[in-house]
Amino acid sequence: MTTKPVLLESREISKSFGSFLANDSINFDILEGEIHGLLGENGAGKSTFVKMVYGLLEPSNGTFYWNGKKIIIGRPQEARNFGIGMVFQHFTLFPTLTVIENIQLSLNDNFATHELRDTINKKSAEFGITVDPDIYIRDLSVGEQQRVEILRCLLQNPKLLIMDEPTSVLTPQESEQLFSVLKKLSETGCSILFISHKLKEIKKITQRATILRRGCVVSTVETADVSTEQLAKMMVGSNPQIVKPKTAKKSSAILVRISGLNRPADNPFATALDNISLNVKAGEIIGIAGIAGNGQSELMEVLSGEWRSTETIDIFDVLGTDIRNYSPHKRRLLGIGFLPEERHGHSAVINMKLTENTLLTNHNNPVIQKNNIVKNENLEKLTTNIIDKYDVRTPFQNPQASSLSGGNLQKFVVGREIIKKPRVLFVAQPTWGVDIGATKFIRNALIDLANDGCGIIVISQDLEELFELADNICVLFRGKLSESKPLQELSSQKIGMLMGGEDLHSESKGH
Amino acid sequence: MIDALVLTILMTSVPLILAATGELVVERSGVLNLGLEGMMLMGAVSAFALTYVSGSLLVGLLAGIMSGCLTAAIFGFFVLGLATNQVATGLALTIFGTGLSGLIGSDFVGKAIEGLPTVFPETLSNMPFIGVFFALDAIAYLSIFISFLVWIFLFKSKYGLILRACGISHNSAHSLGYKVLTVRWCSILFGGMMAGLAGAYLPLMLTPHWSEGMTSGRGWIALALVVFASWMPSRIVYGAILFGAITIMQLAGQARGWTIPPQFLSSLPYIATIFVLVLISSKGTAKYLAPSDLTRPFISSK
């Protein structure tokens, strides 16, 4: 197995963005003709790493070796000259250009159009990927678009093909087709770096896999020798310690009742929500786990009222009121708080001052506003309260939201919701990209709120976070929500497998 | 009589072709420069002043092109260097160009120069029917030629493909390793040179004198023309002749006391543009659509 020569070697490769270390001394190698998996949760640093291999990011430290020789990959053109091709997770195609024009753009050499058309047809026949060269990209399905992405890499006769989460947008059938193309390609001697968080795929298609967690290599394994459970455990880590004990009394009062929630997909990249049912009791925190892109943002929009429907949702009651048709504003009046995932531009307006951001969710408060006149003094007082109570560190008095660091802005928006003492709170990724201190602070604040009897739904990709916060956990996979289970009955391996699409089908058959 | 009318229409369309072709390249790369009117005025006043002072039309033309380019560079510094809002910056550029050209040109009001000569001998231009097509100046023929070259560049060359790619998705173009900002800088400067040349054509040929604000809205018509032409160079030529004809009809109509209000005629180019916009947004192939990253600033990270 390991008699094959090494093609690409990564030695101590690190990448930091400001004080955030996205990749920490990555060491592993890819052999010639090997399909090598790169496994990790979202935010583990997989994409950062491959962007450095493709010359889109510059490593802060470390060296790449190509066939044993030290190389510096400054630009994608240079990567392509070495024979490195990349298929991006978010396609880099141009919808209003034709297939042939898109392919021309990724070739370093200048081809005559008719010559290129012949070459495309020859290559697509060789690998069984049929695409009409003269069609516009926007007229193709997502699976077909990916074929164009792959085809344009194949035309460069790559020695290493990087596939960044290639199956995340494909149907199971399209994935099967992709796998057979990749197998055929590796038989011709091309190495493939296959990035995924889906355990089954890694098991199925790769010979070896390197597991990343929080920017570090956990291990490189021969995939035939490990079980999916072992892979899951390496990917998500062990069960962590609880931040602060929950003391909320068990209550039977149901605050939120959702049943038969469906939402069709708005565009090819959206996920349809499929018959979601969920109840939240007073004092309870429900954790919704899952890998990004399985319907989290769609679900959050339904919870906040940014997307509403009385036709495709059977029941959506909060505090006994049918809120299916309630705007976000009306929902706030009812005592519901929201915290969307994206703090820049979604939960906060970054070009506004903190007082103005406070006003945005508090303008119905009679202390702040009377007869449509804002009482600036009280608004400032409330803002200062949030800043003091939630330990928001500001560079100066009342700055713009954009001048706060990610963690501090997140503490501010969390505080802004919690200080209103909502009876129900919906949050997505409350500690995404936030440093450890602020993370602990935010989680404790959420637990305090639940202890006061608030019902909370936390949508998060961070399993550690859900283990610290949630009473019950369910997993969102391809728009379906698994049954919610008490924390005690679940291990991180089990959830990791549900997140990777394992078991879910056999489980749902049981009901 | 008819010959004279056709000649005027053709000459009126020349600055429209030049300015709109330049703006088309800028927009195809993903930048909207609403400062066309301002750049044209700067080109016009520089061309007139330098021609008057030096006595050389060539010096005047070059001055017009250079000052259009310089004015565009100010725009580029803001929208590319500082990622400012393109609409606001473009409007500011027009106001700036209008004011500064008026200031520079105040000494030249009422002075006269010799206009551009025609290219072909009078025997050709005096021929019946087709003679009018030989009665034009070098810039007029050049404008058609440039429009053809731009078409070749945009749709037949790899660099043109890269330029269009930057306008459709700057993130994708960046991911493939293309320098989006460099591409946009080149387009903006080219657009400025074309606007400067278009401006220079006004005092050197169309009306051989300088008066303040002498572009009288031609920059805005050229902007509408780019949309009207659905970002295709050849359609700019047809559109410019059509818009030129509307402009001349308006003047001729006023002289003859037509009952159609001139305000209606002067709004026709814009009505036609809206009509085209409705048409291409309801159907039409991808080729004719607006560049999807138009007006979106690109900020790269490394």
Structure tokens given for A458: 């936390």
Going by pLDDT thresholds of 50, 70 and 90, the confidence category of residue A238 is low
User: How long, in residues, is chain A?
Assistant: 511
Chain A nearest C-alpha distance from B154 (Å): 12
Read off the pLDDT of residues B230-269 as tens digits, 9 standing for 90 and up.
899 999 999 999 988 888 888 787 778 778 887 887 788 8
The values of phi and psi at residue A234, to 5°, are: -65, -35
Pairing of strands A285-289, A455-459: parallel
- Cα–Cα distance between A51 and A384 in angstroms, integer? 42
Look at residues A300, A313, A301, A274 and name the one whose alpha carbon lies nearest to residue A478: A274
CA-only gyration radius of chain B, Å: 19
Structure tokens given for A449: 């709120």
| Per-residue model confidence (pLDDT) at position A206 | 93
Going by pLDDT thresholds of 50, 70 and 90, the confidence category of residue A160 is very high
Query: What is the sign, positive or negative, of the torsion defined by CA atoms of B287, B292, B294, B299?
Result: negative
Looking at beta carbons, which residues of chain B come within 8 Å of A59? none
Subunit contact A136:B176, Cβ cutoff 8 A = no
Report the run of H or E that residue A63 belongs to, with start and end. Answer: strand A61-66
Given a cut of 70, whether residue A511 has pLDDT beyond it is no
Between A361 and B75, the higher pLDDT residue? B75
For residue A410, the Cα-to-chain-centroid distance in whole angstroms is: 18
Read off the pLDDT of residues B12-43 as tens digits, 9 standing for 90 and up.
999 999 999 999 999 999 999 999 999 999 99
Looking at beta carbons, which residues of chain A come within 8 Å of B157? none
| Per-residue model confidence (pLDDT) at position A504 | 43
| Per-residue model confidence (pLDDT) at position A478 | 87
Look at residues A150, A155, A136 and name the one whose alpha carbon lies nearest to residue B168: A136
Q: Which residue of B has its CA nearest to A93?
A: B172
Given a cut of 60, whether residue A508 has pLDDT beyond it is no
Of B158, B168, B177, the CB nearest to A76: B177
Given a cut of 80, whether residue A250 has pLDDT beyond it is no
- Cα–Cα distance between A376 and A359 in angstroms, integer? 10
| Per-residue model confidence (pLDDT) at position A425 | 95
Chain B nearest C-alpha distance from A58 (Å): 6
Domain boundaries, chain A: 6-236, 254-348+421-509
Pairing of strands A273-281, A254-263: antiparallel
DSSP helix/strand/coil, B204: helix
Q: Which residue has the tokens 């490769």?
A: A13
Lowest mean pLDDT among A102-106, A247-251, A334-338, B286-290: A247-251
What pTM was estimated for this model as a whole? Answer: 0.70
> What's the topology of domain A6-236?
Rossmann fold (3.40.50)
Using an 8 Å Cβ cutoff, are A101 and B161 in contact? yes
Q: Where are the beta strands (DSSP E) in A310-449?
A: 313-318, 321-322, 336-339, 369-370, 373-374, 424-428
Given a cut of 50, whether residue A25 has pLDDT beyond it is yes
- Choose the CATH number for A254-348+421-509 among 3.40.30.10, 3.40.50.150, 3.30.565.10, 3.40.50.300: 3.40.50.300
Given a cut of 90, whether residue B85 has pLDDT beyond it is yes
Chain B nearest C-alpha distance from A59 (Å): 9
Read off the pLDDT of each residue in A360-382 and give the average, rounded to a whole number. 88
Mean pLDDT, chain A, integer:
85
Identify residues of A whose CB sits under 8 angstroms from chain B CBs.
55-58, 75-77, 79-80, 88, 91-97, 101, 104-106, 110, 136, 138-139
| Per-residue model confidence (pLDDT) at position A497 | 78
Going by pLDDT thresholds of 50, 70 and 90, the confidence category of residue A99 is very high
Torsion of CA B63, B65, B68, B74, to 10 degrees: -90
Of B161, B162, B286, the CB nearest to A138: B286
Subunit contact B176:A76, Cβ cutoff 8 A = yes
Q: Which residue of A has its CA nearest to B302?
A: A57
Chain A nearest C-alpha distance from B202 (Å): 37
> What's the topology of domain B2-288?
ABC transporter involved in vitamin B12 uptake, BtuC (1.10.3470)
- Cα–Cα distance between B194 and B203 in angstroms, integer? 15
| Per-residue model confidence (pLDDT) at position A249 | 66
Looking at beta carbons, which residues of chain B come within 8 Å of A138? 286
| Per-residue model confidence (pLDDT) at position A232 | 80
Looking at beta carbons, which residues of chain B come within 8 Å of A136? 285-286
Q: How many Cα atoms within 13 Å fall on the side-chain side of residue A216? A: 5
Read off the pLDDT of residues B42-68 as tens digits, 9 standing for 90 and up.
999 999 999 999 999 999 999 999 999
Query: What is the sign, positive or negative, of the torsion defined by CA atoms of B195, B198, B202, B205?
Result: positive
Q: Which residue has the tokens 């946009």?
A: B184
Domain boundaries, chain B: 2-288
Query: Could you give the ipTM of this predicted complex?
Result: 0.84
Count chain A–chain B contacts defined by CB atoms under 8 A: 58
Chosen for mutation from A17, A105, A136, A139 (greatest number of chain B CBs closer than 10 Å) is A105
Looking at beta carbons, which residues of chain A come within 8 Å of B286? 95-97, 136, 138-139
Contacts of B19 (CB under 8 A, 6+ apart): B36, B40, B194, B195, B198, B199, B218, B219, B222
Subunit contact A92:B289, Cβ cutoff 8 A = no
Going by pLDDT thresholds of 50, 70 and 90, the confidence category of residue A281 is very high
